[in-house]
């Protein structure tokens, strides 16, 4: 499975801002236009992970990627077939 990433560099000051952003952004993953997100903001990654974990057929994966003086957080989903 290849991952279609969206990468952004926005960093929010509060968890509430990041939560609203992640809630709105999760629709792109629900709609399956992309299946991975990369951000330097751990608040966005955390909120997005919890939103995506509510979907039974999503297996949510995360990773921390150090790059120069920043850490990037990746969140992606693998879609599994549910047994009836």
Residue 84 confidence (pLDDT): 67
Percentage of the chain modeled with pLDDT above 90: 85
Q: Measure the CA–CA gap between 62 and 75, rounded to whole angstroms.
A: 5
Is 84 within a domain? no
As for how many domains the chain has, the answer is 1
Q: Measure the CA–CA gap between 30 and 15, rounded to whole angstroms.
A: 22
Is 43 within a domain? yes
Give residue 75's domain range.
Answer: 5-79
Q: What is the CATH number of the domain that holds 73?
A: 3.30.110.20
Residue 47 confidence (pLDDT): 98
Residue 75 confidence (pLDDT): 98
Residue 1 confidence (pLDDT): 67
The pTM assigned to this predicted structure is 0.90
Q: Please state the rounded mean pLDDT for residues 12-38.
A: 94
Average pLDDT value for the chain: 94
Largest CA distance in the chain: 47
Residue 16 confidence (pLDDT): 98
Look-up: residue for tokens 């629709």? 27
């Amino acid at each position: 499975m290849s991952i279609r990433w969206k990468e952004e560099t926005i960093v929010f000051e509060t968890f509430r801002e990041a939560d609203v952003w992640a809630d709105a952004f999760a629709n792109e993953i629900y709609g399956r236009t992309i299946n991975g997100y990369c951000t330097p903001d751990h608040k966005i990654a955390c909120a997005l992970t919890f939103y995506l974990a509510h979907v039974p057929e999503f297996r949510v994966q995360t990773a921390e990627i150090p790059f120069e003086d920043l850490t990037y957080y990746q969140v992606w989903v693998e879609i599994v077939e549910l047994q009836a």
